[in-house]
A = this chain, B = another copy of it.
Amino acid sequence: MSVENWLTEFRSQGYRLTDARRAVVETVAKSPRALTPAEIHDLAKEQYPKLGLVTVYRTLEKLEELNLVQRVHQEQGCNAYLAHAEGHQHLLICQKCKKAVYFDGDDLNASFAKVGEKHGFIVQEHWLQLFGICEECRENE
């Protein structure tokens, strides 16, 4: 989903379009990796210097509510945000450059259900994240 669509989505929910929000949305949308609120603040201030950290938090809250971003959990912390991809709920993260790529893991559902069954569980959700080194980072060794 493009930045324009995000902003339109925002409007259609009754929220106003401000420069502050535009800066946050654009920063998150164009980042190849998940960013913390503080990082978003730093980056988005280049575009809109008056931006306050509080507004970053508030905008992320709304973006999460509208399913436009998702929170990403990593060893270093659990408060980074990434543009959300519809339907594709799994992430592949580069341990070096932190780039995040979505992948479709639908074919794993059956295996997961079976594991649950073995332990008496009915599985309803899962969390899967793969970590590795991306091609680019391997080349720039």
In the assembled complex, the Cα of A3 lies from the Cα of B53 at a distance in Å of: 45
In the assembled complex, the Cα of A89 lies from the Cα of B126 at a distance in Å of: 15
Task: Say how many copies of this protein the assembly contains.
Answer: 2
Partner of A132, one of B73, B111, B124: B124
Highest count of chain B CB atoms <10 Å: which of A94, A111, A127? A127
A8 at the interface (CB under 8 A from B): no
A-B contact pairs, 29 of them (CB 8 A): A73-B127, A78-B78, A92-B119, A92-B123, A94-B121, A95-B124, A101-B119, A103-B118, A103-B119, A105-B115, A107-B111, A108-B108, A116-B130, A119-B134, A121-B130, A121-B133, A121-B134, A122-B132, A122-B133, A122-B138, A123-B130, A123-B131, A124-B133, A126-B128, A126-B129, A127-B127, A127-B130, A127-B131, A128-B128
In the complex, the 10 A-B pairs of residues with the closest C-beta atoms, listed nearest first? A120-B135, A123-B132, A121-B132, A125-B131, A78-B78, A127-B129, A126-B130, A124-B132, A123-B130, A122-B132
